[in-house]
A and B are shown apart, each in its own frame.
Chain A
Amino acid sequence: MKEQGTFRVKKGMAQMQKGGVIMDVTTVEQACIAEKAGAVAVMALERVPADIRAAGGVARMADPEMILKIMDTVTIPVMAKVRIGHFAEAQILEELSVDYIDESEVLTPADEQYHINKHHFKIPFVCGARDLGEALRRISEGAAMIRTKGEPGTGNVVEAVRHMRRVMDQIRQVIGKADDELVVLAKEMGVSLEMLKEVRTAGRLPVVNFAAGGIASPADASLMMQLGSDGIFVGSGVFKAESPERVAEAIVQATLHYDDPKVLAEVSRGLGEAMPGLEMSSLNIADRMQERGI
């Protein structure tokens, strides 16, 4: 008897991606560059976050036509994004048989109150989080993988660092808590006590946790890995750079050898102009994608 779409199968898919880099791509050509550079998966979308930010308006799920073309071209897994709470978009992506769905704050949220009930799907979901509470709430809704939200499309790693540090710090706090203290913490975080106990026992999130949102250089990737990420999402950082091929390959190598400054120095050399970055203070609160869907 085959059992499809069990949580173990969904979570296992993310475990196979650990130590790898997942790259945003908008065309078949970009998907090929990512695969050739050694990406473990591609995220197929209409525009990279930097362009979504620049374009404004409502950002939706990508055209299935484009997603299917990319699925036909590369052998690595293909992910795609849906709007927060937009379960109909997710049903469409499940029908296309994409390998992973990102319920993403990069797109315009469709539901300001509810996220998708991800337990209803056979396809695994990844969701963004800024702290442990958000991460565990998404997992309780069925997310099989977590990533930091960071601040997408900025080329500025500062928010991803903040979110990863916060999650790690909160996990350390949970490890040190007694049962009765956990009860209060569970209430504060809006998560179940069982889930916090699971975190305390494992000493980590119950699912794989990647870094995302502002990673633009091999050094950024190394920084996030050293802070405890299981892997890296690169959005605009590759294809908004001067030489995407070289930046893609360098970020893959830097993620693998994140703790080896010699390799990092080597792969960081002569990569050309990185993507232009945005200073956080120049962003209006309304333009901060990370505030969406908490």
Chain B
Amino acid sequence: MIVGVLSVQGAVSEHLKHLERCAVETAAVKNIESLNKVSGLIIPGGESTTIGKLLDIFGLAEEIRSRSLQGSLAIFGTCAGMVLMAREIMDGIKEQPKLALMDISVQRNAFGRQRESFETELEFYSFDSSLTAVFIRAPLIAKSGPGVKVLARVPEGIVAARQGNLLTTSFHPELTDDLRVHQYFIEMCQNI
């Protein structure tokens, strides 16, 4: 089983390193050929407008979408990845491209600008101890549909959720040494 990281823009190497530390085979996904080899795909943090635009140009968006809808691809989106996975973006620019896979409404830069970026401890799903979460100009899930399981919250709202083969976090588990969120995703990929 290979888990890929969408290698368009953003924190690609950080995710690859985490996956390697979880002892799973990895791939940098830059085109349809490399996408076809992976069972799971991480969409890293970066600038969602940039990643979205480049996904469209190279036809990757359609392929990711169709593989996900077929059920042959697990996806984990962090930060910008969350924005791209959402069905609805509450304050995006008009032509904001999106994968529109998850039944969530996302507010971009929900905590403010970079000055308001922060780290905090939070409880994540069934993990037996709290997790340090790093939020950088992070989005927030403002609304979620009935099929969406909430995995973590902060006082402002939902910051991690799962819907079937889709996992998303507002924060960046690739920026701390804690591998648990990646391990959780790898388990999802194994059940594909």
A residues apposed to B, CB below 8 Å:
1-6, 8-9, 12-13, 15-20, 35, 38-41, 71, 75-77, 94, 97-100, 122-124, 252-253, 256
Residues facing A in B1-59 (CB within 8 A) are 7-14, 45-47, 49-50, 53-54, 57
Q: Are A256 and B9 in contact, with the CB atoms below 8 A?
A: yes
B residues apposed to A, CB below 8 Å:
7-14, 45-47, 49-50, 53-54, 57, 79-80, 91-93, 108-109, 112-121, 134-137, 172, 175-176
Q: For residue A100, which residues in chain B have a CB less than 8 angstroms away from its CB?
A: 114
Q: For residue A3, which residues in chain B have a CB less than 8 angstroms away from its CB?
A: 118-120
Which of A2, A38, A98 is close to B53, meaning CB atoms less than 8 Å apart?
A: A38
Q: Are B114 and A124 in contact, with the CB atoms below 8 A?
A: yes
Q: Are A13 and B8 in contact, with the CB atoms below 8 A?
A: no
Q: Are A16 and B119 in contact, with the CB atoms below 8 A?
A: no
Tell me the complex Cα distance, A123–B80, Å: 20
Q: Are A16 and B118 in contact, with the CB atoms below 8 A?
A: no
Q: Are B46 and A20 in contact, with the CB atoms below 8 A?
A: yes
Tell me the complex Cα distance, A97–B137, Å: 12
Q: For residue A18, which residues in chain B have a CB less than 8 angstroms away from its CB?
A: 9-13, 46
Q: Are B175 and A15 in contact, with the CB atoms below 8 A?
A: yes
The smallest beta-carbon distance between B16 and chain A, in angstroms, is 12
Q: For residue A39, which residues in chain B have a CB less than 8 angstroms away from its CB?
A: 50
Known: A16-B79, A18-B9. A8 touches B49 (CB 8 A): no
* Ranked 5 nearest A-B pairs via Cβ: A99-B114, A19-B9, A2-B118, A40-B47, A38-B53
Q: Are B118 and A4 in contact, with the CB atoms below 8 A?
A: yes
Known: A16-B136, A122-B115. A8 touches B46 (CB 8 A): no
Which of B9, B12, B92, B114 is close to A123, meaning CB atoms less than 8 Å apart?
A: B114
Which of A15, A76, A97 is close to B112, meaning CB atoms less than 8 Å apart?
A: A97
Tell me the complex Cα distance, A98–B117, Å: 12
Q: Are B47 and A76 in contact, with the CB atoms below 8 A?
A: yes
Which of B10, B50, B115, B118 is close to A97, meaning CB atoms less than 8 Å apart?
A: B115
Q: For residue B12, which residues in chain A have a CB less than 8 angstroms away from its CB?
A: 18-19
Tell me the complex Cα distance, A256–B55, Å: 11
Q: Which residue of B lies closest to A94 (CB)?
A: B115
Q: Are B120 and A2 in contact, with the CB atoms below 8 A?
A: yes
Q: Are B50 and A38 in contact, with the CB atoms below 8 A?
A: yes
Which of A4, A35, A76 is close to B115, meaning CB atoms less than 8 Å apart?
A: A4
Q: Which residue of B lies closest to A204 (CB)?
A: B13
Known: A16-B136, A18-B10. A75 touches B49 (CB 8 A): yes
Q: Which residue of A lies closest to B10 (CB)?
A: A16
Which of B50, B117, B119 is close to A40, meaning CB atoms less than 8 Å apart?
A: B50
Tell me the complex Cα distance, A197–B8, Å: 31
Which of B11, B92, B135 is close to A75, meaning CB atoms less than 8 Å apart?
A: B92
Q: For residue A1, which residues in chain B have a CB less than 8 angstroms away from its CB?
A: 120-121
Q: For residue B11, which residues in chain A have a CB less than 8 angstroms away from its CB?
A: 12, 15-16, 18
Q: For residue B136, which residues in chain A have a CB less than 8 angstroms away from its CB?
A: 9, 12-13, 16
Q: Which residue of B lies closest to A9 (CB)?
A: B117
Tell me the complex Cα distance, A6–B137, Å: 14
Tell me the complex Cα distance, A153–B76, Å: 41
Tell me the complex Cα distance, A8–B11, Å: 13
Q: Which residue of A lies closest to B121 (CB)?
A: A1
The smallest beta-carbon distance between B25 and chain A, in angstroms, is 22
Tell me the complex Cα distance, A162–B79, Å: 35
Q: Which residue of A lies closest to B135 (CB)?
A: A9
Tell me the complex Cα distance, A75–B46, Å: 13
Known: A15-B11, A75-B109. 20 other contacts (CB 8 A): A2-B119, A5-B115, A6-B119, A12-B134, A13-B137, A15-B14, A16-B46, A16-B80, A18-B13, A19-B10, A20-B9, A20-B10, A40-B9, A75-B92, A75-B108, A76-B47, A77-B137, A98-B113, A123-B114, A256-B8
Q: Are B54 and A256 in contact, with the CB atoms below 8 A?
A: yes
